[in-house]
């Protein structure tokens, strides 16, 4: 079975172009280092819930949109190897400073997942 990293973050609508440029560069790095696929999606039909939701989870503010991303790897061991290389990659260094991110990294959440159904 594969392994998946998932990410959700709030992005200011006026910085969505900047985010897209960052994501394209990041995606190339992940793919170059061995990820099987890399996906970045912007909310289109995502509403606040009564108890919880994507907007509530990231404490979405007016003028922001939710971005949902995932990266697929061959397995957990490959993910750990690739993630280590990503963090050491010179192209990734500019994002190590939160001031260089086009979103509030404090409101981003992420994690690794073992698939239970795959087609």
pLDDT 10s digits, 57-72:
999 999 999 999 999 9
**10-64 residue pLDDT tens:** 999 999 999 999 999 999 999 999 999 999 999 999 999 999 999 999 999 999 9
- What average pLDDT does this structure show over 83-110? 90
Amino acid 94: pLDDT: 83
Determine the angle formed by the axes of helices 16-32 and 76-88, rounding to 10 degrees: 120
Within 8 A by CB and 6+ apart from 49, the residues are: 56
How far is residue 54's CA from residue 115's CA, in Å, rounded to a whole number? 21
pTM for the complete prediction? 0.93
- What average pLDDT does this structure show over 77-97? 91
Domains of the chain listed by start with CATH number: 3-113 (3.30.70.100)
């Amino acid at each position: 079975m594969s392994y998946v990293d998932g990410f959700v973050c709030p992005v200011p609508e006026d910085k969505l172009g900047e985010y897209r440029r960052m994501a394209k560069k990041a995606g190339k790095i992940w793919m170059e280092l061995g990820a099987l696929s890399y996906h970045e999606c912007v909310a289109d039909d995502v509403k606040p819930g009564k108890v919880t939701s994507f907007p509530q989870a990231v404490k979405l503010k007016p003028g922001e949109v939710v971005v949902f991303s995932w990266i697929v790897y061959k397995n957990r061991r490959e993910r750990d190897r690739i993630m280590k290389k990503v963090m050491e990659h010179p192209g990734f260094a500019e994002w190590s400073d939160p001031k260089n991110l086009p979103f509030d990294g404090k409101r981003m959440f992420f994690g690794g997942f073992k698939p239970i159904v795959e087609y």
